Structure 1
């Protein structure tokens, strides 16, 4: 519990620091847009320039530049529709309704984003309400100023870092999974059905983090088109690894449900492996940038998986067998997320229980290729230990 509190405080502190930094950027951009509109373009009341810059820079990281462009698109569309309707009908009672409807319908017909639709309607309302074409032109200048300042801040001064965005979303998901498994381990330790069902609920909430991870992944796909080739390759490789978090979240939820429905004696045997996998996931959450952390996480997960496989080999189907399968699935997903090819992972885990020669694995691409082969070597050693242990215990059982 203490470790979870410290971890939560650390994550919360980093999130607050990031939020403050982003708010400072939005404040600086709004101030800069107001100064440019007021003293460069001599607009006596440039309210819309700082609003545009501020709204653009309070969008999600990685989408701020796109948000600025969409704001500008909405303003242009609304100004055009408002001016045309005002010129055709004058300041009649139906002018406002027609301007709003046409701007909304046009934005929808163009399949524009929601912010474009809203800005188009707002701009057309202001044009018709003020009834001054000069004001529409000034609003366009303000929009261009605010969007330009926002693009300078988001694309030049503080450009998006797709890998950092992805790692941050991965870490949040891993921390949530680790918290759910910690509750599950506490439930096993205390033989508490209430805690077991609580862990199921916590792991269901991980879906929210996984949705955020998928959103960041889609954003990174757009961002990587504008970055250097070697950086794009790193981001794409990490995105492929991140996709395995969906499977890891699902396997942890399945394990929690199995534990919640198991009897006390059966679930009691899972205390050590569940704690071990929880520690592995927590270490990954705090060291995604560290290759050694990933290597140790994969090694430890493989060790747990092969031990579970060896202990349940040949056993009849039972609650314990299903629980072991759930644990092995979680371990497999961790190793795969760490960067090892799924085929190599499955071969290594099976080698811990089956008496067969494991062929040399193809080295997976990326930074982890130097140590992927060590996993198979470790699985062979674990297999040998399990065989020797079985040989020592066999005669004693026969004599008894």
Structure 2
């Protein structure tokens, strides 16, 4: 009887986990999907009213594809889309002029569009969009609309996407970066939890499991690196540059600390994998404790209380393992150093100054100050105000001008 009950509980837990993942995906992407649908309807309506007697299918397609990117990349995605559409429509029109049959015409237009896109060193999304535009141009020429109509449709669709992404619903880049940080912390916590479980097992299975766990962090770390790169380009190419980019720059520094924390966690896992069986079992509560600390941060990243609790528990876990002895072997010394590095990076990520971290580890400072975490501005250009020169003409202020750091939820560091 216990067997069926255990299987039922396991199935229920799996169903709850899947339902939780689906709910998280829907909550993260539903609004962007609704925006894309609204943009498609608006682009279709405008293009259909502007140019009579044709089917403006390029307009909604352009709007949806341009908005089908992460919030910080939707503007540049619209420009890439337009490049591909222009190449594809031009290649399709040329193929229609010289083509002898529908199949050969479509093949020639598609081939020419992709060759031109590759020749100009376009990205994969541009190459695919160029091919799709050429296919649509050669297939739907029966409606009699000239090529210029399709170009206007594409311009209208991309224009609607730019209005949605840059003016009406600009990307909350800090919030996007914060979600990526939460995912990375969750991944690190899961990796350390799995390593702690493997440390308590016997034989070569334990070592193999720990090695397999080291790859679990490659995805979150790659996502963090991509986020840092895209955040800088987003500041240059979006309406964020009109306002104060300092919140994004501050969050970029936090991501850099998180990358260092991930590297420390990897170092801890690799050093524990090289230790003997008895020493591994002693490290189970240490590694598990650090995993719990990262879980606390991931559960409520915007809470000062959560950061204080994480710092306190990280210190308690590190002191439980101790500083090590001079006669320890190299692997044991490396493991002590790894535990200290993880605790240090957790405190730095929580906002404690580096000078204070060293004093805390040496026991000279018992109650370090954990600052309030940075707030998340609702709109990227909320602090932007138009400025007039002495002739009464409008001119934007330089990037980063205007009041700084007033958006924070607490006192400055």
Q: TM-score range by the shorter chain?
A: 0.7 to 0.9
CA distance in 2, matches of 1:195, 1:70: 48
CA distance in 2, matches of 1:79, 1:371: 53
CA distance in 1, matches of 2:80, 2:109: 20
CA distance in 2, matches of 1:343, 1:224: 31
State how 1:66-145 maps to structure 2 within 5 Å: 66-83=76-93, 90-91=98-99, 103-124=113-134, 126-127=136-137, 130=141, 134-145=145-156
- Runs (5+) with no aligned partner, structure 1: 373-400
Give the structure-2-normalised TM-score: 0.73
Comparing 283-292 with 185-194, greater Cα deviation is found at: 185-194
Comparing 167-176 with 122-131, greater Cα deviation is found at: 122-131
- Runs (5+) with no aligned partner, structure 2: 1-9, 375-407
Superimposed CA distance per residue, residues 122-154 of structure 1 (whole angstroms, 9 cap, x where no aligned partner):
444555664999431111121112112222222
In the alignment, which residue of structure 2 is the partner of 1:62?
72
Q: Is 2:313 the partner of 1:336? A: no
Q: 1:322 aligns with which of 316, 331, 334?
A: 334
Q: 2:259 aligns with which of 246, 269, 279?
A: 246
CA distance in 1, matches of 2:412, 2:335: 29
Q: Report if the CA contact (8 A) 1:183-1:195 is conserved.
A: no
CA distance in 2, matches of 1:271, 1:23: 44
Q: Is 2:304 the partner of 1:294? A: no
Q: Report if the CA contact (8 A) 1:30-1:54 is conserved.
A: yes
Q: 2:268 aligns with which of 226, 236, 255?
A: 255
> 1:171: how far off?
0.6
In the alignment, which residue of structure 2 is the partner of 1:22?
32
Root-mean-square deviation (CA, aligned residues, Å) is 3.8
Q: Is 2:339 the partner of 1:345? A: no
CA distance in 2, matches of 1:111, 1:315: 59
State how 1:171-190 maps to structure 2 within 5 Å: 171-189=182-200
Q: Report if the CA contact (8 A) 2:304-2:372 is conserved.
A: no
- Who wins on radius of gyration, i.e. which is larger? 1
- Secondary structure of the residue aligned to 2:72 is coil
Residue 300 to residue 102, structure 1, CA distance change in 2 (3 Å): same
> 1:164: how far off?
0.9
Q: Report if the CA contact (8 A) 1:48-1:143 is conserved.
A: yes
Q: Report if the CA contact (8 A) 1:266-1:319 is conserved.
A: no
CA distance in 1, matches of 2:85, 2:412: 54
Superimposed CA distance per residue, residues 104-123 of structure 1 (whole angstroms, 9 cap, x where no aligned partner):
44433433322223333444
> 1:193: how far off?
5.9
> 1:335: how far off?
1.9
Which protein has the bigger helix share? 1
- Secondary structure of the residue aligned to 1:73 is helix
Q: Is 2:34 the partner of 1:34? A: no
Residue 254 to residue 298, structure 1, CA distance change in 2 (3 Å): same
- Secondary structure of the residue aligned to 1:112 is coil
Q: 2:291 aligns with which of 278, 297, 300?
A: 278
In the alignment, which residue of structure 1 is the partner of 2:215?
204
In the alignment, which residue of structure 1 is the partner of 2:245?
232
> 1:95: how far off?
7.4
Q: Is 2:209 the partner of 1:218? A: no
Q: Report if the CA contact (8 A) 1:61-1:160 is conserved.
A: yes
CA distance in 2, matches of 1:371, 1:67: 36
Q: 1:264 aligns with which of 270, 277, 286?
A: 277
CA distance in 1, matches of 2:257, 2:211: 20
Structure 1 runs (4+) deviating above 6 angstroms are 4-9, 93-98, 363-372
> 1:14: how far off?
2.4
Q: Report if the CA contact (8 A) 1:203-1:252 is conserved.
A: no
- Secondary structure of the residue aligned to 2:245 is helix
> 1:297: how far off?
2.3
Q: How many residues are treated as equivalent by the alignment?
A: 360
> 1:177: how far off?
0.9
